[in-house]
Structure 1
Amino acid sequence: MDAGWLAQRIGEPSARGIATALTDLIREGTVTTQTRLPTVRGLARELGVSSGTVAEAWSELRRRGMIHTDRRRGTVVLGPPDVPRPIRYERIGHWGDRLAIDLAIASPDPALLPPLESALLAAAHADGLNDYARETITPRLRAAVEPAWPFAAQSWLAVGGGYEGVQLLCQTTALPGDRIAIEEPTGARLLDILETIGVQIIPVACDEAGPKPEALAKALKARPVAFVYQPRGQSPCGHAVTPERSAELAALLAPTTTLIVEDDGIGELSVSPMVSMGTRFPDRTVLVRSFSKSHGPDLRIAVIGGAADAVERVRVLRSFGTGWTSRILQDTLAHLLGDAVVRERVEHARAVYAGRRARLAAELAARGVRTGGSDGLVLWVPVREESAALVTLAAHGISVAAGSRYVIDPAPTPHLRLATARLTDDPDRLAELADVVALAARGGS
């Protein structure tokens, strides 16, 4: 495309004006798919603006999925704007009837979830039902969660699941182009969320004790507006932050204004104690605790508790849509949390999940495949080559998640993520599974 031709069709030479004009041209078909756009510098010269203005417009179009840039071809048009898709999280491939064992999705075992009947009946008589008053959290739910909260939260909010909580906190904290530091590897959905928001992701490498201090120190030099990490039950690696490591990280965060977002994704199913930065920084720490895996995915409940300003921003944004989380669901969870029989059931589930994870890790270690980590509902399995390992497992009717979905840049060692919550308790079948996983990890040798 000629830079002069495009410049004549741009009425407002701002970043937004450039992006809007080109969007209209693509939508109406004047500019077609695979058209190569002029260089940033060439278009800037024709418009009489800085290269940064055009680059900002290009970034916005890239975020909408309309253009793509590579070194060989330059910037080309992909097509009209589309709904952003969670590419990492979406399942790839159709398994059909060949799928025998699904280790790709870390879902709870339905047999280990508490029954909901009595809790739903109790919640059906909750105070304030069918009132349009926007209640951030019901008194019963706050009373149920507050005693176990690791620090004195300034504000509370019930949201529709852990990932919604983290997404809204990031969305209301960062502007497009801002930087957010996040441990790596991390949740595939979280990486999708951050890319959709349009932030720059600053990776923070981890080891068995959590984010590495030297990696966080490097990331903080970029002045991120937020640091997002999982204090325990980390997915995909299975580590938990120790008190000593937390103190090291806190010393680095102390002189900054960075918002600290703690994602407690498996909550009461974790075998590790909760070590929170909120005890040191209550005015800029927010904990998101999910109850989906412990008490039921269809409750769609997570609780946000922490810094008042950050929680208030989320409340305001939610007021444009949902407004508040169902009081029936909130009080159902509150009833479950206060039921002694349910607490025993969750404790039993925690032990069962830990045993399943540990047994598969031991079986793989006996075959020369060491996974690391001791918490969570997944195993992070090193393999010789990712694609070959996926093919080997698929040939045996086993689906797993590719490790490349959980990192920003290619990792030095490829991995697979195996969900362990629904593993068989039959030792012979588990040994057979470990044989196949080890075969895949070694590259078939």
Structure 2
Amino acid sequence: MDAAWLAQRIGDPSARGIAAALTDLIREGTVTAQTRLPTVRGLARELGVSSGTVAEAWSELRRHGMIRTDRRRGTVVLGPPDVPRPIRYERLGHWGDRLAIDLTIASPDTALLPPLEAALAAAARADGLNDYARATITPRLRAAVEPTWPFEAQSWLAVGGGYEAVQLLCQTAALPGDRIAIEEPTGARLLDILETIGVQIVPVACDEEGPLPAALAKALKARPVAFVYQPRGQSPCGHAVTPERSAELAALLEPAKTLIVEDDGIGELSVSPMVSMGTRFPGRTVLVRSYSKSHGPDLRIAVIGGAADAVERVRVLRSFGTGWTSRILQDALAHLLADPDVEARVAHAREVYAGRRARLAAELAARGVRTGGGDGLVLWVPVRDEPAALVTLAAHGISVAPGSRYVIDQAARPHLRLATARLTDDPAELAELADVVALAAGRGVSAAT
């Protein structure tokens, strides 16, 4: 496509105007799929704007699946706009129905979840149901979770799961183009979320004790509006932040105005104590605690507790859609949290999950494959070659998640993520699984985050 031809059809030379004009041309069929667009510099020169303005427009079009840039062909048109998709999460592994062992998704073992019948029946009898009054959190649920919170929260909100909470917090904290600092590696879905809302991702490297102070100090120079991290049970690496590391990170964050978002994804299933920066910065720390893996995914409950301004922004945004989380589901969770038998059941599940993870880690270490971390429902397994390891495991009927989905750019060392919550408890079967994983990984591989 000729740059001058396109420039004549752009009335508003802002980034938004450029994107809107090209979107119209693609929708009406004037510009068809596989058309190669002019270079950023060429179009910028014709429009009399900076290259950054055109690059921003291209970024918006790319986010909606209308264009793609590759080194050989430049930037080409793909077609009309599509709904942004969670590409990393959707590509975690679809190997067909023939696979016997699925270690891709860190789902809880249904046999270890508490029964819901009594809790739902009790919640369905509660007062105040079928009212359009918007309950940010029911009194029963707040009374159940508040004693377990690691700091005094200024405000509370129940939402539909941990990732919804993190998405809404990031979406309300940042404008397109703002920066958000996150751990790396981190959750594939978090990376999808941040790319979809159009922020710049600033990676923070980690070790066994959490985010590295030097890496956070470097990230803070970019002036991120938020820092999102997992204080314990970190996925995919399995580390937990120690009190000493938390104090180091807090010293770096103290002079900044950055919102601190703590994602407690496995909550009561973590074997590590919760160390929160909310004790130091209650006015700009928000803790998200999910109860999906501990009490049941179909409850669809996570609780946000912390800084009043941040929680209020999420409440306002939710008012455009669902408005509030079902009071029946909130009080069902409250019933479970107050039940001593359920508490004991969750404690038992925590021990079982920790044992399964530890046993596979030990089996792999005995075969020369050393994984890191000591918490969570996954193992971060170093391999020599990611595609080859995936193919080898698939040939043995095993599906796992490729580690490349959990990093922003190419990692220094390839990894696989193995979900451990549903591992077999049979020693012989576990040893056989470890043999195959070690074969796929390449023996004598050490963990590196």
Measured against the shorter chain, the TM-score band is over 0.9
Asked if 1:171 corresponds to 2:177, the answer is no
Structure 2 unaligned residues grouped into runs of 5+: none
Task: Give the corresponding residue for 2:430.
Answer: 430
Hey, what's the Cα distance between the residues in 1 that align with 2:439 and 2:325?
A: 46
Q: Which residue pairs with 1:374 in the alignment?
A: 374
What is the CA distance between 1:390 and its match in structure 2?
Answer: 0.6
- Find the residue that maps to 2:72 and give its secondary structure: coil
Measured in 2, the distance between the counterparts of 1:385 and 1:237 equals 18
Aligned pairs (5 A) from 1:236-315: 236-315=236-315
Match of 1:99 in 2: 99
CA 1:299–1:218: 2 relative to 1, 3 Å: same
Q: Deviations over 1:292-315 (max 9, x none)?
A: 000000000000000000000000
After superposition, the Cα gap between the structure-2 partners of 1:284 and 1:82, relative to the gap in structure 1 and judged at 3 Å, is same
Q: Which residue of 1 aligns with 2:119?
A: 119
| CA deviation profile, 1:289-345 (whole Å, cap 9, x unmatched) | 000000000000000000000000000000000000000000000000000000000
Q: Distance in 2 between matches of 1:321 and 1:273?
A: 35
Secondary structure at the aligned position of 2:6 is classed as: helix
Residue equivalent to 2:385: 385
In 1, Cα distance between equivalents of 2:95 and 2:223: 44
Please state how far the C-alpha of 1:219 moved relative to its aligned partner. 0.5
What's the counterpart of residue 328 of structure 2? 328
8 Å contact kept, 1:392–1:444: no
Deviation at 1:125, TM superposition (A): 1.4
In structure 2, relative to structure 1, the CA distance for the partners of 1:94 and 1:281 (3 Å cut) is closer
Q: Read off the aligned partner of 2:182 and give its amino acid letter.
A: I
3-state SS of paired residue (1:202): strand
- CA 1:443 to 1:62, structure 2 compared with 1: closer, same or farther past 3 Å? farther
Name the CA distance, whole Å, in 2 between partners of 1:374 and 1:404. 21
What's the C-alpha RMSD, in Å, of the aligned pairs? 1.4
Question: Cα deviations across residues 27-49 of structure 1 (Å, max 9, x unaligned)?
Answer: 11111112111222322332233
Q: CA deviation digits over 1:213-263, x for unaligned, max 9?
A: 000001011110000000000000000000000000000000000000000
Q: Which position in structure 1 is the counterpart of 2:319?
A: 319
Aligned partner of residue 98 in structure 1, secondary structure: coil
SS in 1 for 2:375: coil
Give distance in 2, aligned partners of 1:268 and 1:94. 30
- What is the letter of the counterpart of residue 282 of structure 2? P
* Percent identical residues: 90
CA contact (8 A) 2:369 2:444 kept: no
| Cα pair distance change 1:104/1:236, threshold 3 Å | same
- 1:7-406 alignment, distance < 5 Å: 7-91=7-91, 94-406=94-406
> Partners in 2 of 1:208 and 1:169 — Cα distance?
26
Q: 1:425 to 1:37 in 2, by over 3 A?
A: same
The total of aligned residue pairs comes to 445
Deviation at 1:17, TM superposition (A): 1.6
Instruction: Provide the rounded CA distance (Å) in 1 between the counterparts of 2:156 and 2:271.
Output: 25
Name the SS of the counterpart of 1:89 in structure 2. helix
Are the aligned partners of 1:178 and 1:200 in contact in 2 as well (CA < 8 Å)?
Answer: yes
Q: Distance in 2 between matches of 1:99 and 1:181?
A: 37
Distance 1:253 1:93 in 2: 37
Distance 2:13 2:379 in 1: 51
Q: Would the aligned equivalents of 2:92 and 2:104 in 1 still touch at CA under 8 Å?
A: no
Structure 2 residue identity aligned to 1:143: A
Gap regions ≥5 residues in structure 1: none
Instruction: Kindly report structure 1 stretches of 4+ aligned residues shifted beyond 6 Å.
Output: none
> In structure 2, do the counterparts of structure 1 residues 214 and 94 end up closer, same or farther at CA, with 3 Å as the change threshold?
closer
Q: Is the 8 A contact 1:388 1:443 kept in 2?
A: no
Equivalent-residue separation in structure 2 for 1:59 and 1:372 (angstroms): 36
- Once the 2 structures are TM-superposed, how far is the Cα of residue 51 of structure 1 from its aligned partner? 3.0
TM-score of the two chains, using structure 1 as the length reference? 0.98
Q: Distance in 1 between matches of 2:350 and 2:185?
A: 24
Contact 2:63-2:196 within 8 A present in 1 as well = yes
Contact residue 154 and residue 306 of structure 2 kept, 8 A: yes
Q: Deviations over 1:363-392 (max 9, x none)?
A: 111111110110000000111111111111
Conservation of the 8 A alpha-carbon contact between 1:102 and 1:399: yes
Amino acid paired to 1:174: A
Structure 2: how far apart are the matches of 1:180 and 1:315?
A: 21
- The one-letter code matched in structure 2 to 1:427 is P
SS at match of 1:204: strand
For 1:97 and 1:236, the matched residues in 2 are separated by 25
Structure 1 residue 127: deviation in Å?
2.1
Identify which range, 14-23 or 349-358, moves more after superposition: 14-23
With over 3 angstroms needed to count, the CA separation of the structure-2 counterparts of 1:21 and 1:399, relative to structure 1, is same
Distance 1:6 1:392, change over 3 A: same
Task: Kindly provide the amino acid, as one letter, of the partner of residue 257 in structure 2.
Answer: T
Deviates more, 1:176-185 or 1:88-97: 88-97
Tell which deviates more after alignment, 27-36 or 10-19: 10-19
**What is the Cα deviation at residue 73 of structure 1?**
2.6
C-alpha separation between the residues in 1 aligned to 2:56 and 2:387? 36
Question: 1:94: Cα distance to partner?
Answer: 4.3
AA in 1 matched with 2:348 = H
Q: Describe the SS at the equivalent of 1:201.
A: strand
Q: TM-score, normalised by structure 2?
A: 0.97
Name the SS for the 2:416 alignment partner.
strand
In 2, Cα distance between the equivalents of 1:93 and 1:235?
17
